[in-house]
Every structure is written in C-alpha cells, then in structure tokens.
Amino acid sequence: MSETTTTEPKRAKIAICYDFDKTLSPDDMQTFTLIPSFGMNAKEFWDQSNELAKSNLMDNNLAWMYQLIQYSKLKRLPLQKDYFHEIGKKVPLYKGVDSWFSRINQYAEKKGIEVEHYIISSGLKEIIEGSAIAPFLKRVYASSYLYTADGVAEWPAQAINYTNKTQFIFRIAKGCFEEYDERVNDSMDDEQLYIPYENIVYIGDSATDIPCMRLVKSKGGYSIGVFDPAKNARKKVYQLFGDGRINYYAPADYSARSDLTRYMKQIIDEIATREVIKAEQKLLRRNADAYKAYTLLSSMADTIEPSIPAKNMKKLHASIQKMKDSIDGNID
C-alpha cells in the first residue's frame, strides 16, 4: 500500500469574468483617445464601421479593426502596441473599479477562496493590457492584432464576439488557457475541472454578453447585468433578468458600499458554504465507495473461488478483509 501524504487542502477557486466596454468602463475603449486621434468623432467612426460591416456582411469587430488600420494609414499614425498601451492608461473606469479587485480578493481569502479575474471583451486586448487594472487580471481574452516585424498592426489575430466569447468560459473552466489549445473541446469530468462552472461569475452589459451569461447561469454559475449608473438606463437588464439570462443586475458601481459589491459577497459566501459541503461529502463518500468496492469484490471472489488455486484465493480473501477493516463502523 502506498504511503499517504498529507498535503494542504487545495483552496477553492472562483473565476470572475468581465466584459470591458460599458461594464468596467463607461464607453467603448476606442472612443476616448484613439478615434479622436484620427480627427473624427466617435459617432462618425462607428456609423462608418457599422455600415462597412452591413454592406459587406462582415463581423462588426472585423469591420472596426479594418477601419482602424485604414485610418491609421491615411493619417500616417502607425498603430503600435505601445501606442495602444498608452491609450489604455487613459481609458476611464467606473467608480470603485480601481480598488474592487483587491477588496474582493481579500473578502474571498477570509472565506478560504481564491479569486481569479478574467476579461472577455470584444474590445482591444492591447488597450486593456495598458489600463490600470491589468496587474489584477489573470488573463485578457479580447480582440487583438497581428503585428508586422516593425511592430505595426497589420491583420486581426483574434476577433471576439457573441458566441465565440463562450469558448473562453470553457477555457477557464478546463484550464486550457492558450487561444490555440484545442484540448478545450475535450470532454472533462467535473472533478477534473480547473474551476467548476458553478464557481464562475460573468459580468456584462449587453447583447454580446448574452451567450456567456446564459452559459454560465445554465451551468450553475452566476451572471450579473450592469448598467451605467449616471444614465440609469435599465431596459436591457430588466429584459435580461426577465428572460432568465442573469441572476442579478446592478449599477456599474464597484465601490465598497455598492449593490454590486454586496451581490458579489453573497456569491462568495454561497460558494464558500458549498465548498464546505462538498468537502464533507467527499469524506462521507470515501466509506460508501469502499463499501461498494468491498461488496463487489466479495461477490466476485465467491464466483471465481472454484476455478482458482487455494493459495491465490487465500491472498484474495486477505485483501478483501483488509479492505473491510479500512471501512468505518460495522458492515456485517
């Protein structure tokens, strides 16, 4: 019998996944600095890009990514990673976002839970990576460019939208993080998951988030719809809640006394309690599983007894007895 080693119990993990535009930041990230740098206003840019998508049956994200490259050439403003990072620094965030991550991490830690934060956004990865919250993020899944040898954006590397946002929920649950890792499609038992689906939270604001919201909620996790606190426009969240797509809705206020903070603490509390129950059940299952194996082996031994040598049979009975002794309580 192999020696049992005592290891620290693995701390349960929670993944909080965020959309970015209008979820953590009050507008589309391209709107603040990038589009004005071409001497355009945001409406003009989006109208043109949406028209380009419509008239060419293009994905909306591929359309704006193409259009950015076209304008950068026209204005002789090369789109480089450093430039996007600079823009990221200037992207405003909703109230409380700057301190949200460490507050939530601390709260969860007290409950014995580790939180990982992920972005799943249609916006630009390079801009998010330049923003103040980047150090708190385990991973940023977002649209991104392929760069030339000179470091200039040339072609889309990833364009993320609607249902293809959901692949990242599977990646996070299964721990297959790299965008090219095809094992994400392999079937995996719940026990083997890197983060169980019921420990995943998704926060988003709009239609592009619906597939993720639905997926997370239907697998026992938590989806939250947020709306701009200043505009207080709630039509979307009422619809999402009414259609059963979200578990909560709240203003996008991430400060300590906000509804969102309260809901997140409730979720962490519920997950922490469930983890305690799961651990108790694991202990209870040990005896029940051993009993099941014992009865199976015993009946198998009875069946094969006439056909095998007595010496081997003696050995088998000894191991069956050993197994019986390891089970707590009287099972006769």
Residue 28 binds to Mg ion (criterion: CB under 5 A): no
Least separation in angstroms between CB 206 and Mg ion: 5
Q: Which is nearer to Mg ion, 13 or 214 (CB)?
A: 214
**Angle (CA) 139 222 285, round 5°:** 95
Which of 18-26, 174-182, 262-270, 282-290 is the region at the interface with Mg ion (rule: CB under 5 A)? 18-26
Interatomic CA distance for residues 244 and 214, integer angstroms = 8
Least separation in angstroms between CB 177 and Mg ion: 22
Least separation in angstroms between CB 249 and Mg ion: 14
Residue 21 binds to Mg ion (criterion: CB under 5 A): yes
CB neighbours of residue 175 within 10 Å: 15
Closest by CA to 253, choosing from 242, 262, 241, is 262
Least separation in angstroms between CB 143 and Mg ion: 12
Which of 15-23, 69-77, 129-137, 214-222 is the region at the interface with Mg ion (rule: CB under 5 A)? 15-23
SS3 track for 21-72: ECCCECCCHHHHCCCHHHCCCHHHHHHHHHHHHHHCCCCHHHHHHHHHHHHH
Q: Which is nearer to Mg ion, 126 or 205 (CB)?
A: 205
Closest by CA to 271, choosing from 13, 16, 17, 18, is 13
Q: What tokens does 165 get?
A: 């946002």
Q: What tokens does 299 get?
A: 């009946």
Interatomic CA distance for residues 126 and 30, integer angstroms = 11
Site track 77-96 with Mg ion (rule: CB under 5 A), x = hit: --------------------
Q: Which is nearer to Mg ion, 21 or 275 (CB)?
A: 21
Residue 19 binds to Mg ion (criterion: CB under 5 A): yes
Binding-site residue total for Mg ion (CB under 5 A)?
A: 5
Site track 195-234 with Mg ion (rule: CB under 5 A), x = hit: ----------xx----------------------------
Least separation in angstroms between CB 102 and Mg ion: 23
Residue 154, phi then psi, degrees to nearest 5: -125, -35
Residue 165 binds to Mg ion (criterion: CB under 5 A): no
Class of residue 280 by CB neighbours under 10 A (exposed 0-12, middle 13-18, buried 19+): exposed
Q: Which is nearer to Mg ion, 108 or 201 (CB)?
A: 201
Interatomic CA distance for residues 193 and 179, integer angstroms = 18
Residue 253 binds to Mg ion (criterion: CB under 5 A): no
Instruction: Pick one of 13, 17, 22, 294: the residue that binds Mg ion (CB under 5 A).
Output: 22
Residues in touch with Mg ion (CB under 5 A): 19, 21-22, 205-206
